[in-house]
Structure 1
Amino acid sequence: MCHFITATLPKAADREALNTIARGFGRQFQPLASPAVTTQLPPGAAYFLTTLAHCDCGTVMGSARRTAALASDWPAEEAKLLKKGWSRAKAARALEQRREKEALKQEAKEQADRALAESLEGFVSGVLQSGLTAELGLLLHSYHGPLDEAFRILRHERVPPDAALAEVLPAAEEDVLYLFLSGA
């Protein structure tokens, strides 16, 4: 299973010029043939793969939802230790050490995520501020097979030009097509 960020652009958009902009942010607009997905796109939209890497696993897009799902359940951890016969004091010390270690890991991850976020935010802003398109769609999906696998787009969500990308991208849901709009 791998996450990939795919994109939509109006078919009339200058894909070559937009691809040059995308590459400046470590992305691309490579046409992607996926009949099951393209039938769910807005009329007149073309569908693209954006990653230049192996996949987009670890992307900032949707990261707030994934992080929340992975959060430690400290009361459950304590209950496990107590069930093993640990004293409350020993369990508390062990859990405090784990919390500190997790906090350090989280801080390092947040710094790395910020760099990824700035790149993805720059990609969206760069494309929309280019004047070459009025709309950019982004779709995050966890693929279990090939990139042309069928899946259902849950809904299309329009993102206004004044939306804070630093908030919208991490909060994104998988299988929702986010249509970012330019101010023009």
Structure 2
Amino acid sequence: MCHFITAIISSNSDLTLLNRIGDQFDIAFDYINNDHIKNQIDTNYSYLQKLTACCECGTSLGAQDHIMSAEREQIKDINRLKRKGWSQNKIESWLTNKQRSSVNQQRSFDHQSINYQEDAVKWLGFLSLLMKSSEIGYFGLLFHWYSGSVDSEDFQIIEYERLKEHQLNEDFIFHMKEDIVYEVLF
């Protein structure tokens, strides 16, 4: 379905302050109630969703993996077609047609990569400024590919990874992994 960005903060943290920091980067959060995730986090934490007009499918978070996923999907598609008994000529014809439509998608991707960089700069600024604020207490950033509703999807948090300011660069943003909570240290 779609990517959505969520976060975890200390229950006693000031959401207004978090959003004031985020305002500079067009980033804001609100509380969300997903019992599956709440059961995986400390009871002293609250679960948040990044506010957006729609999904976050164009996010720079993990963008490199999204690109690689598309390539892996094509390989899976070819293997699936082979299992269905398609001839090599038919598969090559299918790939040619797909590549023709991909020309327009590549133009879109070239434009999108600019957006990835702009989005990465926003996230880097937000996280960097957040690291300098001791008033939030705890902040963990998480993104997930949802196949259902954000407030009811059941998925496992894989791990928690502590961020240090020297890690914050575009490469880090582009290679973030889904279902990992990236913790900002204060």
How has the CA–CA distance of structure 1 residues 70 and 44 changed in structure 2, closer, same or farther, with 3 Å as cutoff? Answer: same
Question: 2:36 corresponds to which letter in structure 1?
Answer: A
Q: How many residues align?
A: 171
Which residue is 1:176 aligned to? 180
Q: Which of structures 1 and 2 has the bigger CA Rg? A: 1
Distance 2:123 2:178 in 1: 16
Does residue 152 (structure 1) correspond to residue 156 (structure 2)? The answer is yes
Q: Is the Cα contact below 8 Å between 2:17 and 2:136 reproduced in 1?
A: no
Q: Extract structure 1 runs of 4+ deviating beyond 3 A.
A: 97-107
* TM superposition shift of 1:100: 8.1
TM-score by length of 1: 0.76
Question: 2:177 corresponds to which letter in structure 1?
Answer: E
1:48-67 to structure 2, matched below 5 A, reads 48-67=48-67
Does residue 122 (structure 1) correspond to residue 128 (structure 2)? The answer is no
Q: Percent identity?
A: 25
Deviations 1:35-85 (A, max 9, x none): 210121245221111123212111111111111122377xx8xxx9x836x
Q: Is the Cα contact below 8 Å between 1:60 and 1:116 reproduced in 2?
A: yes
Give the secondary structure class of the aligned counterpart of 1:137: strand
Question: 1:176 corresponds to which letter in structure 2?
Answer: I
Deviations 1:138-171 (A, max 9, x none): 1111222222222111111212232124222221
Consecutive unaligned residues in structure 1, runs of 5 or more: 87-96
Q: Is the Cα contact below 8 Å between 2:138 and 2:184 reproduced in 1?
A: yes
Distance 1:46 1:148 in 2: 13
Does residue 21 (structure 1) correspond to residue 27 (structure 2)? The answer is no
Distance 1:64 1:165 in 2: 14
1:1-184 to structure 2, matched below 5 A, reads 1-42=1-42, 44-71=44-71, 83=89, 105-149=108-152, 150-182=154-186
TM-score by length of 2: 0.75
Distance 1:99 1:157 in 2: 36
Q: Is the Cα contact below 8 Å between 1:4 and 1:51 reproduced in 2?
A: no
Which residue is 1:94 aligned to? none
* TM superposition shift of 1:2: 1.5
* TM superposition shift of 1:10: 1.5
Root mean square deviation of aligned Cα: 3.1
* TM superposition shift of 1:109: 2.4
